[in-house]
């Protein structure tokens, strides 16, 4: 993943469940800010993010957070990462992220799952098929957990809202207004007053900008033909409610 946002963690866990063909009864997590709001190293009090609570209930597993500064639990998470870096990735170059993923898939199948594990002395693939796969809870009938993010943004003077360092245009009439932004998968949706006012494909990286020309229609210099003029005819002052002579009399005569 290109980020460590909450939806990336959830997507990664769900893809792991699919790859292993089931859900474990317990998941050991590092104390990522997107998942763990607070973990006191002394009292061991753990406060999980409410959406992680909902995610774990949806899939039916118990959450364990690694004890801070305790290698016995933290090391279990990190040791596997180090093995992948040294054995699978070091010394290789990849033309794309997809090429890296394909390489890791083949390496897992042909190397990692077949070697004799240092602790068990068995090939992980064979041990999983014989013992661990049967302990997993079934995936059948459980739909994916929606990891959509709901955000509130104020429309800037550039007719856009900012999400994850990128700008997405909205109709110019909403400049200065607060809007609700929903990010789900690769789609960014903007709502105002209960209505959807903009839809964009989510950008990767940062400092990008997506502009729908229709959102700028009517602005001076926009590429769309103006649907209406922003320089309407001058508004005539309203007529006096009384004759001018009466105002002069109250004010003490003519000027």
> pTM of whole model > 0.85?
no
Over residues 151-198, the pLDDT tens digits come to 899 999 999 999 989 999 999 999 999 999 988 778 899 999 989 999
97 shares its domain with 23 = yes
Percent of the chain whose pLDDT exceeds 70: 83
Selected residue with higher pLDDT from 143 and 134? 134
Residue pair 79/45 in contact (Cβ under 8 Å)? The answer is no
52 shares its domain with 162 = no
Maximum distance among all alpha carbons in the chain? 110
Task: State how many domains the chain has.
Answer: 2
126 shares its domain with 16 = yes
State the pLDDT at residue 233: 41
165 shares its domain with 201 = yes
Has residue 235 got a pLDDT over 50?
no
Using pLDDT thresholds of 50, 70 and 90, give the confidence band for residue 240.
Answer: low
* Range name among 4-13, 89-98, 122-131 with the lowest pLDDT average: 4-13
């Amino acid at each position: 993943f290109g980020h460590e946002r909450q939806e990336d963690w959830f997507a990664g866990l769900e893809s792991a469940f699919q790859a292993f063909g089931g859900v474990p009864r317990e998941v050991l997590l590092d104390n990522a800010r997107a998942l763990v709001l607070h973990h006191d190293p002394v009292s061991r009090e753990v406060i999980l993010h409410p959406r992680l609570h909902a995610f774990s209930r949806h899939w039916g597993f118990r959450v364990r957070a690694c004890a801070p500064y305790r290698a016995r639990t933290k090391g279990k998470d990190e040791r596997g990462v180090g093995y992948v870096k040294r054995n699978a990735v070091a010394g290789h170059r990849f033309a794309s992220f997809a090429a890296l993923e394909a390489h890791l898939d083949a390496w897992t199948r042909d190397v990692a799952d077949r070697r004799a594990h240092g602790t068990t002395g068995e090939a992980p693939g064979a041990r999983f098929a014989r013992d661990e796969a049967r302990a997993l809870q079934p995936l059948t009938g459980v739909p994916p957990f929606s990891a959509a993010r709901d955000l509130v943004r104020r429309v800037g003077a550039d007719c856009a809202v900012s999400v994850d360092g990128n700008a997405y245009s909205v109709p110019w009439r909403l400049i200065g207004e607060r809007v609700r932004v929903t990010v789900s998968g690769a789609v960014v949706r903007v709502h105002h007053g209960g209505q959807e006012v903009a839809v964009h494909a989510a950008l990767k990286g940062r400092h990008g900008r997506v502009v729908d020309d229709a959102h700028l229609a009517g602005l001076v210099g926009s590429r769309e033909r103006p649907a209406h003029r922003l320089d309407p005819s001058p508004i005539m002052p309203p007529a006096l409610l009384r004759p001018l002579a009466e105002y002069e009399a109250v004010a003490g005569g003519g000027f």
